[in-house]
Amino acid sequence: MPMTSKLFDYAPAPESRAIVDIRASYGLFIGGEFVDPIDGEPFKTVNPASEEVLAEVSSAGRVDVDRAVAAARAAFSQTWSGMPGRERAKYLFRIARLIQERARELAVLESLDNGKPIKESRDVDLPLVAAYFFYYAGWADKLKYSGYGETPVGVAAQVIPWNFPLLMLAWKIAPALACGNTVVLKPAETTPLTALAFAEICQQAELPPGVVNIVTGAGDTGRMLVEHNDVDKIAFTGSTEVGKAIAKSVAGTKKRLTLELGGKAANIVFDDAPVDQAIEGIVSGIFFNQGHVCCAGSRLLVQESVADEVLERLRRRMSTLRLGDPLDKNTDIGAINSAVQLQKIRELSQIGEDEGAQRWSADCALPDRGYWFPPTVFTGVTQAHRIAREEIFGPVLSVLTFRTPDEAIEKANNTPYGLSAGVWTDKGSRILSMANRLRAGVVWANTFNKFDPTSPFGGYKESGFGREGGRHGLEGYLR
């Protein structure tokens, strides 16, 4: 039952991009300044919604990575680690306020470079980015109450993904700096622009040179950074495959490591669930940020007695999703971040069909240019299907059914991953018992994809180790 309205047709409501000033080319941010790369090649970053080139960005080579680590080391030993916590806090509060002041600009830039709807970068990403800086600024002078000591680890090498570019930067940089560490951060190849804007904010905040260094580039730059001899701590968010490679390279060294990797979360809907809100939770669980979310609810486990009803309602709701220009304020589903990712989503969806699952997408026109994939749901999926086991990292939901709570637990836990899970039921005792038995770092009850700086986040099994956020997020940066 498509419900696309013929009567009330929303006119385009694009957010202006005039607020953003993108330079033609960017250097690396090392020692408090933008510098030209010495041995790296330039590369281009594009707007995934239009394939338009946004800017030319430098790829850091080995000498550049050396320079950045050296700048971080110097700042660590000469200024930052010895600075009283209350002084460090002032810088972090200042950064947080600057992020709020420039929130609109940063939101537009994030949507341009990443493809996510402005509604999400404006209402989710940016408020959270500021909140993480405010939260960890508050910890900087209270570390002795953290339970993890007060001594910083040293230079942190941080490598972040393209799905929440600025938010992942905040998760990494805010706790590291609060604890007195200095950082070299590598943003993802396809989404470097907000990290570079953040570098400007560090300058605006007069953060001492070298405390934050940003080296752009692809996988090679990341590898050189994490394998560098003079880094003390590695924090990585990204694919399980790369995470494993990093874990191997770190083995036998004294480097400390936290990994936040993939997921294949079960979103479990019981027959007594608040059904309209559960539908919203299923939708935000898998279609939020085009499904480019490591903790996405990509497996819907629905109790057999309500499966037909839930699916019917889900399809109806999916036909109201608005896909298109990420800068339009009414867009619900933006662009897939890259051609490579789009190809991967297409392949896995084709495999789902070949394996016999039934594919359904709402009628929705895709723009001619750019990278797009319609919100898709697969029914008739079993545990053995690849689309039930592998992370698709796109707007593709696999639906399985269960009859009893035990069966739900068995299926939910039967995955190499363990990042998140969701439980939908009106019964409080069932929420608690499910949460105890689900092997996942985060269990949401009657909600999904909610984040808060005070709450620790991280995985079980192949979803990684270590926690980010909350008091627990300090542990990786203190000794």
Partner 1 sequence: MALTTGMARSSVIPTDVASSNASLRGFLHGLPGVDQVGAEARAASLATRSIKTDAKRWAIDTAISMIDLTTLEGQDTQGKVRSLCAKALRPDPTDSSCPRVAAICVYPDLVITAKAQLGASGVKVASVATNFPSGRAALPVKLADVRAAVADGADEIDMVIDRGAFLSGHYLQVYDEIVQVKAACGDAHLKVILETGELATYDNVRRASWLAMLAGADFIKTSTGKVSPAATLPVTLVMLEAVRDFRESTGRQVGVKPAGGIRTTKDAIRNLVLVNETVGDDWLSPDWFRIGASSLLNDLLLQRHKMATGHYDGPDYVTID
Q: Which sequence positions are flagged as catalytic?
A: 260, 294
CB of 10 to partner 1, least distance (A): 5
The residue type found at 442 is: V
Per-residue x/- mask for partner 1, residues 397 to 426, rule CB under 8 A?
-----------------------------x
Joined together, the tokens standing for residue 399 give 């639906």
Cα(239)–Cα(161) distance, rounded to whole angstroms? Answer: 8
In the bound state with partner 1, the residue whose beta carbon lies nearer, of 225 and 278, is 278
Task: Please select the residue that binds partner 1; options are 360, 446, 455, 465, rule is CB under 8 A.
Answer: 446
Cβ(141)–Cβ(86) below 8 Å: yes
CB of 409 to partner 1, least distance (A): 22
Task: Please select the residue that binds partner 1; options are 239, 249, 433, 447, rule is CB under 8 A.
Answer: 447
Joined together, the tokens standing for residue 33 give 């300044």
* 3-state secondary structure at position 82: coil
Cβ-based neighbours of 204, under 8 Å, separated by 6 or more: 98
In the bound state with partner 1, the residue whose beta carbon lies nearer, of 26 and 424, is 424
CB of 125 to partner 1, least distance (A): 15
Under rule CB under 8 A, which residues in 262-301 are in contact with partner 1? 272-277, 280-281
CB of 77 to partner 1, least distance (A): 47
- Does 429 bind partner 1 (CB under 8 A)? Our answer is no
Backbone angles phi, psi at 331, to 5 degrees: -80, 130
Which among 166-174, 291-299, 308-316, 335-343 is the span making contact with partner 1, rule CB under 8 A?
308-316
In the bound state with partner 1, the residue whose beta carbon lies nearer, of 281 and 324, is 281
CB of 432 to partner 1, least distance (A): 17
In the bound state with partner 1, the residue whose beta carbon lies nearer, of 76 and 402, is 402
Backbone angles phi, psi at 58, to 5 degrees: -90, 140
Joined together, the tokens standing for residue 421 give 């899970």
* 3-state secondary structure at position 461: helix
In the bound state with partner 1, the residue whose beta carbon lies nearer, of 32 and 324, is 324
* 3-state secondary structure at position 8: coil
Comparing CA positions, the residue from 40, 337, 72 lying closest to residue 188 is 337
In the bound state with partner 1, the residue whose beta carbon lies nearer, of 13 and 340, is 13
Joined together, the tokens standing for residue 230 give 């003079």
Count of residues of this chain found to bind partner 1 when the rule CB under 8 A is applied: 32
Under rule CB under 8 A, which residues in 3-62 are in contact with partner 1? 3, 5-13
Which among 2-10, 173-181, 208-216, 364-372 is the span making contact with partner 1, rule CB under 8 A?
2-10
| DSSP3 helix / strand / coil % (the chain, rounded to 5) | 40, 20, 40
Cβ(212)–Cβ(173) below 8 Å: yes
CB of 269 to partner 1, least distance (A): 11
Cα(293)–Cα(291) distance, rounded to whole angstroms? Answer: 5
Per-residue x/- mask for partner 1, residues 102 to 121, rule CB under 8 A?
-----------------x--
Comparing CA positions, the residue from 30, 127, 133, 23 lying closest to residue 73 is 30
In the bound state with partner 1, the residue whose beta carbon lies nearer, of 9 and 363, is 9
Residues 208, 211, 216, 217: is their CA dihedral positive or negative? positive
CB of 187 to partner 1, least distance (A): 28
Per-residue x/- mask for partner 1, residues 318 to 337, rule CB under 8 A?
--x--------xx-------
Pairing, β 376-379 against β 396-402: parallel
Cα(238)–Cα(462) distance, rounded to whole angstroms? Answer: 12
What is the length of the chain?
479
Cα(458)–Cα(451) distance, rounded to whole angstroms? Answer: 12
Binding region for partner 1 (CB under 8 A): 3, 5-13, 119, 123, 272-277, 280-281, 305-306, 308-309, 312-313, 320, 329-330, 426, 446-447
